[in-house]
A and B are shown apart, each in its own frame.
Chain A
Amino acid sequence: MTPLTLFLGCVIPNRYPGIEMATKLCLAKLDIDCTDLPEASCCPAPGVFRSFDSPTWLAVAGRNLTLGEDMQRDILTICNGCFGSLADANHLLKENGELRISTNAYLSEIDRQFKGTIDVRHIAEFLYSDVGTEKIKEAVEKPLGLRVAVHYGCHLIKPSRDRGLGSFERPRFFDELVEATGSISIEHPDKMECCGAGGGMRSGLKERSLAMAEHKLSKIKEAGVDCIVNACPFCHMQLDAGQQEIEKVFGKDYNIPVLHYSQLLGLALGFPPDMLGIHMNVVQNRDFMEKLKLSIEDN
């Protein structure tokens, strides 16, 4: 197994540190060789910076990639945005000689060079392909029995020709990872739809962006689930903090708990909710916390 280094990005360490802690606990428990990646910056966020100035986007992403290259470790991302930026940039810089030359011209100003020696991974596809659901099932100490609305998010699987993770219309791998924790993935209409946060929508056109999230939440509510599980802190923020904003803007109260996969897995591996920062989410649902407590005591 190639050694890894953890790319934190912005939203996880600076808004949802519980996800950072949960990820570190899970990786340690599964005995995965993954270090910190000191000196990393914003990936930079693809929807905004790639929209403003693609050479800058590529240069900053290129710098982050060289940090992993220096350590001779593949970069592990826990955010679809970071994955999108770094995997796309890595791909472009490896394949496109002209872009590599122009980007390395920028990087040479800070004494760095992109070499193209590592890969960029996302924790969901990494766990699925390199660890496997069987090994995860073996490691599970507390099968959770939760009814889960799985939210893939967009940039984990698309553009599909670059990601190579199979069907973008009806993928299964993330559902299988959720099921490996002893939970059930509940099908619901528009399951694959975007949360509305990307492309600078959440920052630039907040209300329209929330309308998209509200639509998703309404479908999830109808399906009747215990929680939503995502693979991206930006989707997480949109669906979690977004519920409070939606209540203000549209007067609708959903109160659906939202977990990142690292937090769901952390629970199944036996870590208490407080260690995983689940109590730090904006949505606080007492029934859900009771249910978690019961499932922990039952086991």
Chain B
Amino acid sequence: MDDWEQFISNRKYYITEKMIMKENNVQEQLKEAGIDILKCMQCGMCSGSCPSGRHTSLNVRRLIRHAIRSQDVLEDEELWMCTTCYNCQERCPRCIDIVDAILKIRSIAAHKGIILPEHKQVIKLLLEYGHAVPIDEANMKKREELGLERFPETVHKDIEALNEVKKLLNVCKLADIIDQ
């Protein structure tokens, strides 16, 4: 069992009944969002254009078929191999918003707790600092050496603004994704 399979099987313990009830809604949620993947004719223009597919197991044509057919797409590792470069979406002859579909399916997965630990970490950083990549000591020094102020003119320098962002993130319940 590789890391991903292990991760998915551990996950299953956490799936509650309520979540299982929600299982039947990837297709519905895509439809609600105005993304029609049923138009797909499986031509392969997308996968042929995909730079990630040259270096990973991502086959976006197959991923779209998976999303049409099954809820299991939420557990498809390939969902996370897309760089959102938009090549596929630009070239799809059926004008399917492929990247929007991938983002939507990812977010359904994330809300069910299917999210990489590294990505949880990125969420934690935003919640704490208002920056997904916060400043560190080495870069404070670089800033000073350049004649810039130690902290940039962002929430890093303004605690009230940071608290405002934290309040907003709290209202949006972003932390729910990492707390589950």
Contacts and interface: CB of A to CB of B under 8 A. Distances in A.
Nearest to A208: B56
A51 B82 CA distance: 11
Contacts, number: 207
Contacts of B154: 8, 13, 38-41
Residue of A47, A51, A203, A211 ringed by the most chain B CB atoms within 10 A: A51
B84 A215 contact: no
Contacts of B116: 200, 204-205
A130 B7 CA distance: 50
Contacts of A203: 118-119, 121-122
A54 B103 contact: yes
A106 B110 contact: no
Given A53-B110, A204-B116, A45 B132 contact: yes
A17 B134 CA distance: 12
B81 to A, nearest CB: 6
Nearest to A210: B55
Contacts of A36: 153
Contacts of B177: 52-53
Query: Chain B contact residues: over half helix, strand or loop, or mixed?
Result: helix
Contacts of B119: 48, 51-52, 200, 203-204
Interface string A182-200: 0000000010011011111
Contacts of B99: 159
Contact of B83 (A10, A53, A168, A197): A197
A198 B84 contact: yes
B93 interface: no
B168 A109 contact: yes
A154 B155 contact: no
A288 B172 CA distance: 48
A53 B107 contact: yes
B71 interface: no
Contact of A277 (B111, B142, B156): B142
A158 interface: yes
Contacts of A254: none
Interface in A109-144: 109-110
Nearest to B163: A110
Interface in A25-56: 36-42, 44-56
B65 interface: no
Nearest to A196: B83
Given A13-B156, A197-B83, 15 more contacts: A36-B153, A38-B154, A38-B161, A51-B106, A52-B177, A53-B111, A106-B172, A109-B171, A199-B80, A199-B84, A200-B80, A201-B82, A204-B119, A211-B55, A280-B142
